[in-house]
Structure 1
Amino acid sequence: MTDKPIRTLTFGAVGWNNPQVANALYPEDAPRAWWLPCYASHFDTVLVPEADWQAAAPEEVARWREELPSQFWFYLLAEHAPDEAHLAQLAAVGKALGERLGGVVLAGVAADALPAAAQRLDGVALFSTRADAGGQRLWTGPGSPCPCGHAGLVDLETSPSPRALREILEAFLACQQEPWSVLFMRAPVSTFDDARVIGKLLGVT
C-alpha cells in the first residue's frame, strides 16, 4: 500500500491594505506599518495589487521581504496594459523581492501581455487569464480551462455556503498538476477560515 502524495493548498488575500482584511484583522489603533506583519501572522502569501506595488519605493519593497518569515511569498498583480516603463517597474519590484517572489498574475487587459512579460521577467512564474491550458493559465473559477498553473484568483463578494466553497476548491484542485498550489480570494476574511477547514477535509495541508 502506497501513501497518497501530500498536496498543499495555501490561501491568500488580494492586498493586506484592503478594507475587508484591515477591518477584520487589525486593531483599530494599529499603525499602518504594522499591518503587513499582522497580515502575515494569519496568511503565508499575498497577491499585491498593482496600485500598491507601483506606489512602493524600492526600499519599502525590500522591507516587505526582510520583516516577514522566510516561508511568506509575494505575488504581484497586473491588470492594466503594461508599457515598457510599467514592465521595467514590475521587474524592479520583482528583483527587490528576490527569492520571496512567487509569481506575477496578469489579469484584465494585462492578460494579453504574457509574451512581453515573459521576455522582461525571465525565470519568474507567470499566470494569465488568456494563456492556454497549462502551467501559465490563471485559474479563475469552475469552468476555467484545465490543467492550470499553481495559482488561482476568485472574486467572492459574500461568503459562499460550505457546499459552494467546497465545489470551488474541488474544481481548483482538479485542475492542478503541481503538488502545491495557492488560491487568492477577494472575499470576507471568514471565507478563508472556512476554506482552510474544507481543505483539510479534502486531504490538503
Structure 2
Amino acid sequence: MENLQVGTYGWQYESWIGGFYPEDIPEDWQLDYYSNAYRVLLVPEQAWLSWNEVDFEEILDAVEGDFGFYFEVVDDLDSNKEVQLTKIVGVFSETAKGVVMFSEKERFESSCCGLPVTLISKSQVLPGWQWKVQGFTCSGEPCGVVIELTSQPKEQTALLKSFVGGFPDGCQGAPLFVKGSDIDMTQVYNLKTIGEFLGY
C-alpha cells in the first residue's frame, strides 16, 4: 500500500450514474469499474450483512490485485454481525483489511473477527493513533473518515497533510474514506489527485 489510499463509503449511488459511472453500465459491473479507479472501499453495514455466499464470490471476482475491503460496524458487534463478518473474513482473506466502527459506546477491543479496528466517535477513543476531524476522532488502527468533503483544493490539501502527518512511526500507509449524504466523485477524484501530487 502507498502512504495514502482514497476510497468511498459504498459504491452504489444513483448520482454516480452518468458521471462517475457510464450511463449504460450494468449494476453488476459497478464494483469492477470502481475498483479500477480506487483500491479501497468502506462497505456499509447493511450491505455486508445482506451478502450470501454467491455475493461473496461475485464481489471478490469484481476486484483484482491489491484491493482492500473495510467493513462498517454501527454501535457494536452483536452475535449476528459477528457470525456474518467471521464468514466474510474467512472467504475474503487478505482483501479484508479492517473494521471501521461508528460508536459512542465505551469499548476497548482493538480487533473484531481478526481485523484491526478504527473507532469513529465524538466521545470515545481507542489507545494509540488518533486523528481529529470534523468534530469526530478517528482512533485505533490508522484509517480516516471524512463525513463531508470540502470542494476547496487548499482545504483538501490541508486535510491530507493533517491525516498523513499524524501517522505513527512505522505506519505503512492508511486509507481515507469519504462518507456523506451525497458523495461527489469529482471531489473524491480531486482529493486523490492532490494526494498523488503531494507524493502520498
* Interval containing the TM-score (normalised by the shorter chain): 0.7 to 0.9
Q: Cα 1:69–1:149, aligned 2, differ >3 Å: closer, same or farther?
A: same
Task: Report whether the alignment pairs 1:180 with 2:176.
Answer: no
Q: Secondary structure at the match of 1:156?
A: coil
Letter in 2 for 1:180: G
State the aligned residue count.
192
Which residue is 2:76 aligned to?
A: 81
Q: Secondary structure at the match of 2:19?
A: helix
Give, in whole Å, the separation in 2 of the partners of 1:61 and 1:112: 32
Q: Secondary structure at the match of 1:125?
A: strand
Give, in whole Å, the separation in 2 of the partners of 1:11 and 1:142: 18
Gaps of 5+ in 1: 1-5
Q: Cα 1:33–1:114, aligned 2, differ >3 Å: closer, same or farther?
A: farther
Give, in whole Å, the separation in 1 of the partners of 2:71 and 2:5: 16
Q: Is the 8 A contact 1:16 1:22 kept in 2?
A: no
Which residue is 1:3 aligned to?
A: none
Shift of 1:66: 2.7
* Further displaced range: 7-16 or 61-70: 61-70
Q: Is the 8 A contact 1:50 1:77 kept in 2?
A: yes
Q: Is the 8 A contact 1:153 1:185 kept in 2?
A: yes
Shift of 1:8: 1.9
* 1:151 equivalent among 140, 143, 154: 143
RMSD: 2.7
| Alignment map for 1:1-205 (pairs within 5 Å) | 8-22=3-17, 24-109=19-104, 112=106, 115=109, 118=111, 121-122=113-114, 124-129=115-120, 130-135=124-129, 139=131, 141=133, 149-156=141-148, 159-177=150-168, 178-186=171-179, 187-204=183-200
The list of structure 1 runs, each at least 4 consecutive aligned residues, that deviate by more than 2 angstroms after superposition, is 18-24, 111-115, 129-133, 142-150, 200-203
Give, in whole Å, the separation in 1 of the partners of 2:73 and 2:56: 16
Q: Secondary structure at the match of 2:82?
A: helix
TM-score (norm 2): 0.82
Q: Secondary structure at the match of 1:12?
A: strand
